[in-house]
Structure 1
């Protein structure tokens, strides 16, 4: 393969064979259900009654072809970077001086998270905004996830993905760009700003790994804080302690034996659905059901990308690779000079602390919203769009020149 062909960017259009959909429907029809325990709620996992109704909807009412058409409205491409096929959407703004922006999803998310985000970001004038706030948007799928998967070799951890994204933006002609992300996308976006400060204009995050109260604060630690910091630290510790006790089993399993659950999740669509929908319920701003926060069809489209590509195992490996790399804590504690914005949504189980974030980040914007959760782009796209526009407008005003690629 020549260098030019290795770096080629190939058009991509999503077109799932009907046989794959027929197979899915057959498997849903033949689901072998476990025995239900009467009265069991979400504390045991996904309730039987809820999941049966969701599966009925998936089988008989959900329209994959409509979702496929919506995704295909974006110009999509693939390219090979460091031996992996990288799928991405590249939606250019009609505004020539738009800011290049790469947005990265996490687990159990996908590019589906951004379906309601792209149009107002790329064409603000058509959505009641200022044309000066326009972005050229790049939406890659992390290697091993969905249409960038499955991967066939080890080592795709945060640092390697970061380098791949820098190369992707170079191939697209963007020497300078912004980055946004939550969940794994937050770690990758933050690492882009830390590792490539000469290229990254600014980093916008809706999660900051490592800035929570992950251990119970001592009396001495609390005494050194202001009253407001003490209150937020204790609240963070209570949230983290509960999440660590009740909500991290998936991460432990995927960090240690990611292939073992992959056999079940790749064979059973209901298993894959339950594995993902539990996290949407636990991490979203809802009282009882995830659909209170996230559109049901969008949720199922996200699940479909995992199911149709068979990437339950390769997406879970990012947890294993983080643990195997052994440098995650070092990365998090190494300061970043990139101008950084944090948008905080109250239902997220990992809300960062400002005084901890200030130790390692160049925080220039800190916004606390009164609603929304972990999947901010799906739950509150208008709030996220507004904060992104305000952050990069602030950087433009400080710099005095448009931050084009």
Structure 2
């Protein structure tokens, strides 16, 4: 199996159509008496869309993204997009442990780019150049220019695809894996399925065990699970519709750029550590880059497939490789007990609750997270 270079190349026709659609946008009135109370705030959307139409320079962002080495590989007959950046190491330094960084939903490879800089060129950020890593950042199957596989899109299927990328395509015999959200779950599956090749895993969302039957729940575990159920009653509408009627909502979002923006921005605000101020964590250019990538690739519907196929997932085996966790600060992770992760992982080497950085931590706290990744994976790779 081979891989070939790839460039992001959004046609003028697509961009002209996008601007025309944005110009014809109709906005709803706000529900409730507070901004964001009923979801994406119409006033914020008006401002964001105005900038999208008249201030956002996609061609400049496209050029920045294309400065990175992009590729596509065929795995199981389906194409997978990824970025691969070699570490800048001193002459004579030992080969590093390669790392694969996997994003979640509603995200993309763009989320990982601040980590790529810091992990491949640590000297630029005051780190040790001998600790530079080779880094691979895939677009998960169904996202952007990565095609869906044959059969259900399970976490195990995604893990198999990423493992083949790292081993058969790129030739790595041993590697480390990091991820959050869906990418974190896939990272856990990589550690469970391939302990001989996966040196260790790092996640910002600790895993659940395949079953809680091994021993009774502690009070802390029960309190967390109860709180999760309560939170889902206020936040779970998006996953309910994507898991049961994905084609219905996808039909609206693939036809309306502002509808797409609303669907994504709502989660960037809800799940990041922004204290109610979305742009304290993400500038508009970053948000619109991610939204434009979804629009140009037409992949919002396929990004829902892992929700629709959720019931096809089988119980995950225990994770026996060394594991590290830098727990995100977001409502769904509040008071997450380490005991739950210990039910799933037999060798937790590092547990950190920094109190900052949410669902999109690589974008929100890249220095913090890059330091945690470097310390953990370097410790695994030292003689």
Q: Please state which band the TM-score falls in when normalised by the shorter chain.
A: over 0.9
Which secondary structure state, in structure 1, belongs to the residue aligned with residue 21 of structure 2? helix
**Does 1:384 find its partner at 2:369?**
yes
**Does 1:394 find its partner at 2:379?**
yes
Please state how far the C-alpha of 1:35 moved relative to its aligned partner. 3.8
**Does 1:341 find its partner at 2:341?**
no
Distance (Å, rounded) in 2 between the aligned partners of 1:208 and 1:342 = 7
Superposition misfits of 4+ residues, deviation over 6 angstroms? none
Matches within 5 A, 1:335-374: 335-347=318-330, 349-350=332-333, 352-361=336-345, 362-374=347-359
Which secondary structure state, in structure 2, belongs to the residue aligned with residue 103 of structure 1? strand
Question: Equivalent residue for 1:26?
Answer: 20
Contact kept in structure 1, 2:208 and 2:344, CA below 8 Å: no
Name stretches of at least 5 consecutive residues in structure 1 with no aligned partner: 1-6, 215-219, 401-405
Which secondary structure state, in structure 1, belongs to the residue aligned with residue 282 of structure 2? coil
Distance (Å, rounded) in 2 between the aligned partners of 1:153 and 1:53 = 41
Q: How many matched pairs?
A: 374
Describe the superposition over 1:277-313 as per-residue Cα deviations: whole angstroms up to 9, x where unpaired.
0001110011223212222211111111111111111
Distance (Å, rounded) in 1 between the aligned partners of 2:277 and 2:252 = 24
Matches within 5 A, 1:113-128: 113-128=111-126
Distance (Å, rounded) in 1 between the aligned partners of 2:31 and 2:204 = 37
Question: Equivalent residue for 1:403?
Answer: none
Distance (Å, rounded) in 1 between the aligned partners of 2:117 and 2:36 = 35
TM-score by length of 2: 0.92
Distance (Å, rounded) in 2 between the aligned partners of 1:289 and 1:27 = 27
- Go from structure 1 to structure 2 and tell me whether the alpha carbon gap of 1:235 and 1:289 turns closer, same or farther (over 3 Å shift): farther
Question: Equivalent residue for 1:4?
Answer: none
Matches within 5 A, 1:97-116: 97-116=95-114
Please state how far the C-alpha of 1:326 moved relative to its aligned partner. 4.2
Please state how far the C-alpha of 1:85 moved relative to its aligned partner. 1.0
Matches within 5 A, 1:40-55: 40-55=34-49
| Aligned mate of 1:169, from 154, 166, 171 | 166
**Does 1:10 find its partner at 2:4?**
yes
Contact kept in structure 1, 2:207 and 2:344, CA below 8 Å: no
Which secondary structure state, in structure 1, belongs to the residue aligned with residue 178 of structure 2? strand
Distance (Å, rounded) in 1 between the aligned partners of 2:276 and 2:252 = 27
Which secondary structure state, in structure 2, belongs to the residue aligned with residue 341 of structure 1? strand
Contact kept in structure 2, 1:348 and 1:374, CA below 8 Å: no
Contact kept in structure 2, 1:147 and 1:305, CA below 8 Å: no
TM-score by length of 1: 0.87
Matches within 5 A, 1:80-159: 80-95=74-89, 97-149=95-147, 151=148, 153-159=150-156
Deviates more, 1:283-292 or 1:34-43: 34-43
CA RMSD of aligned residues (A): 2.1
Name stretches of at least 5 consecutive residues in structure 2 with no aligned partner: none
Which secondary structure state, in structure 2, belongs to the residue aligned with residue 147 of structure 1? coil
Question: Equivalent residue for 2:282?
Answer: 294
Distance (Å, rounded) in 2 between the aligned partners of 1:366 and 1:133 = 21
Distance (Å, rounded) in 2 between the aligned partners of 1:22 and 1:322 = 37
Question: Equivalent residue for 1:3?
Answer: none
Question: Equivalent residue for 1:39?
Answer: 33
Distance (Å, rounded) in 1 between the aligned partners of 2:209 and 2:258 = 35
